Structures are given as structure tokens and as C-alpha cells.
Chains A and B, each alone.
Chain A
Amino acid sequence: MTRKRRRLYIVVAAMTVLGLAAGLVLMSFEDSLVFFHSPSDLVEKPVPEGRTFRLGGLVEEGSFKKSGVEITFRVTDLAESVDVQFRGLVPDLFREGQGVVAEGQMNENGIFVASNVLAKHDENYMPPEVAESLKKAGNWKPKEDKQ
């Protein structure tokens, strides 16, 4: 009985230490675990010109413009926003008001030049009719997007 007790304590103690260690490691690597930076992050901690990183947020409503193969849009997190320039094909889910993650660099004019654009969708799923009637009824909650 005491041996079982002792083994129980050892396992519990080892798991606690392991959990704490993992927590500390993850906290210290926070920066590299983040897949993208939001426009607000950029205001807080600007990324130097020419360094490649990912910018994520929502495609601002009414900001999408297309001229030939070049497209421009604004990425917003509803607090700050950044102009983005991109040449190429965007994913099917790319649309105004939807999430987007672009990979690229800031240029000298403060415009984000993307080399790759990914669409990000949110956690809501519903049939189109339901979305339509929610919008009509005015119950459409604008995305309280994650930081």
C-alpha cells in the first residue's frame, strides 16, 4: 500500500513539474509560437522594413480593389489597419469581412507587400439562409475577432 502511495506521489509530482516547465517554455517562446501579427501588434512593436512576417486580421469592408493581377486591400483588427498589396491568386474564402493572413514585408511607404495570402475562417458555421435572416434581423454580430 505504501509503495503504491509513493508511486502515486511520484507520478503526480513529476507531472506537476513537467507541466510547469512546459508552461514556462511556452511562455518564453510566445513570439515564435504566434502564427501572425495583428495591425495593433505592429503599432506596438513595429517590424523593420524588409523583414518577412505574417500579418493577420480581417479584410476591411470596401477596401478591396483589383487592377489586373494586382490587388490591394486593408487588413484591420477593428482598432488599427494596414494597407496590403498582392499579386496573384487569392484563396476561395478570401472576401471582405473575412479573416486573412498575408505573408510578406513592409515597404518604405508603410504598405505591406504580400507574397502569399491565406484565408482564415472563423468558428461560426451556418446555412446561407440563416446567415441572411440573421443579417436582416440585425442580429449579425460584427466579429469580435481575437486580439
Chain B
Amino acid sequence: MAIDLHKYANPTRFLRIANAIFPWSIVTTVVLLATGLYLGLFVSPADYQQGETVRIMFVHVPAAWMAMSVYSMMAVSSAAGLIWKHPVADLSAKAAAPIGACFTFLALVTGSLWGQPMWGAYWVWDARLTSMLILLFLYLGYMAVWGSFEDQSKAAKAAAILVLIGAINIPIIKFSVDWWNTLHQPASVATMDGPKIHSSILTPLLIMGLGYTSLFVTIFIIRVRTEILGRRLRMLRVNQLQE
């Protein structure tokens, strides 16, 4: 297993696979987002309670899903970076962070724009909203750590430790709505007794979710490539100075 992973951790091999996926990820992103938006805005019905505002769900929920799954992916790859010193692991986490931060920001803002008309408040300090805000700060802190070290391997280590400490927040976000009374409603899709959303609303939501995932993959490939080339650039510059 470890050997196998190392094969993929090799930067050139990683880039070759990423490059092969890239055109496909662009196509699937465009197709899924176009379909999702069409179904979400034109086909799906208004909700029996929330009326048209339910459409905010199609941009809010996928952003929130991505915010948490991108962070989880960063935690796994940072752990791999710390333990096995994979060359690409730390760079993957670093490349993913700004994307995750954008998703988190969007989940917070679209949630706020949904909260005002439905709940009657843009913001409340309940456990779900607060833990999501903490997630945004974790992303920003992570990016700041990378920026504040001259030595990249030290930066990688410090950033990885930060991500792993912050990973505690992920189950807290997920279960906050079950553990404590919150204004935010409990889970609708990933529940023990199946989704609580009618298929006409669930379908566009899932398609948007896949579209956001695919968009993540696309941007991620661009950013990982940037990170790998950036590392090579630094290496060559150092070599040049020595010669």
C-alpha cells in the first residue's frame, strides 16, 4: 500500500494523471453545473414552506459539503505528508486550501442570505453557524502559516499540524445540529432514514453537488500544477545561485 502510494506521490506521475483527467473534469463541470442550474432554477418546484427561497439550497448546500470535504481531504493529505513525507501530499493540501476557503465563505454568505428571509436573521451564534465560521478561520490560518515561513518544509509541517488540530471541527460541524439545539435544521440528505427532500428538489441538489465536486477537481489540478512547478522554480533558482 505504502509503495503504491509513493508511486502516485511522484510529482511527474501525479501531473501526468492530473493532465489526463483535466479535460474531462472541465467538461463534466460545465455539463453538471449547467444541468443543475437549469433544473434548480426552472424545473424544480418551490418548497411548501419556504417558497422560492429553497432555491438558495442549490448553491448553499453544495458549498457547505465542499467546505467540509475539502478540509477532510487536506487533513488526510497533511497526515500523509507528516508521516510518509510524500512530496506531493503537502502541496496537495496547500493547493486545496484556497478552494476550500472560497466554498466555506460561500456557504456562510449564501446561508446568511437564506437565513434573513426565512429565519428572520442574517446571522445567529448557534453551534452550526459558529463552527462553520471557525472552519473559515482554519482555512485562512492555514494559508497564513504557509505564507509566514521562509523554509517551505517547516511551513509544510506547521501547516499540517494546524490542519490536523482543526480537523476536530469537522465532526463538530456535522453533528452540531444533532448534539445541541440549533436554529439551523438537522441534516436532510445524509440521514439514517434516507433523504428528507422530495426528489424534484433533491435531484438538482445532488447534480449541483457533483458539479461543485467536479469544479473542485478542475481548480485543484490547476493549483497543484502551480505548486509543483513553483517548487521546481525555487529549486532551480537555488541551484542557479550556487552555480
Contact = CB atoms under 8 A, between A and B. Distances in A.
Instruction: Tell me, yes or no, whether A and B come into direct contact in the complex with CB atoms closer than 8 A.
Output: yes
Interface residues of B, number: 46
B117 to A, nearest CB: 6
Contacts of B202: 125
A7 B197 CA distance: 44
B228 interface: no
Contacts of A14: 164
A31 to B, nearest CB: 10
B185 A11 contact: no
A92 interface: yes
B82 A11 contact: yes
Contact of B198 (A7, A35, A36, A125): A125
B47 A126 contact: yes
Contact of B164 (A11, A22, A34): A11
Contacts of A105: none
Given A22-B168, A117-B120, A125-B198, A93 B50 contact: yes
Given A18-B165, A125-B197, A35 B181 contact: yes
Contacts of B196: 123-125
A8 B200 contact: no
Contacts of A95: 49
Contacts, number: 125
Interface in A92-147: 92-95, 98-99, 101, 117-132, 146-147
B181 A56 contact: yes
| Interface bracket on A | 35 or more
Given A36-B181, A118-B119, A11 B79 contact: yes
Chain A's interface: helix, strand, loop or mixed, by majority? mixed
A38 B197 CA distance: 26
B46 interface: yes
A119 B118 CA distance: 7
A99 B185 CA distance: 10
Chain B's interface: helix, strand, loop or mixed, by majority? loop
B88 to A, nearest CB: 16
B182 interface: yes
A147 B120 CA distance: 23
A146 B118 contact: no
B201 A126 contact: yes
B148 interface: no
Contacts of B119: 91, 93, 118-121
Contacts of A7: 82-83
A90 B121 CA distance: 11
A26 interface: yes
Interface stretch (B20-28, B32-40, B186-194, B229-237): B186-194
Contacts of B186: 122-123, 146
Interface of B: 2, 45-51, 54, 57, 79, 82-85, 117-121, 124-127, 164-165, 167-168, 172, 178-183, 185-188, 191, 196-198, 200-202
8 contacts: A26-B172, A35-B127, A56-B183, A93-B118, A117-B120, A121-B49, A128-B47, A147-B181
Interface of A: 4, 7-8, 11, 14-15, 18-19, 22, 26, 30, 33-38, 56, 90-95, 98-99, 101, 117-132, 146-147
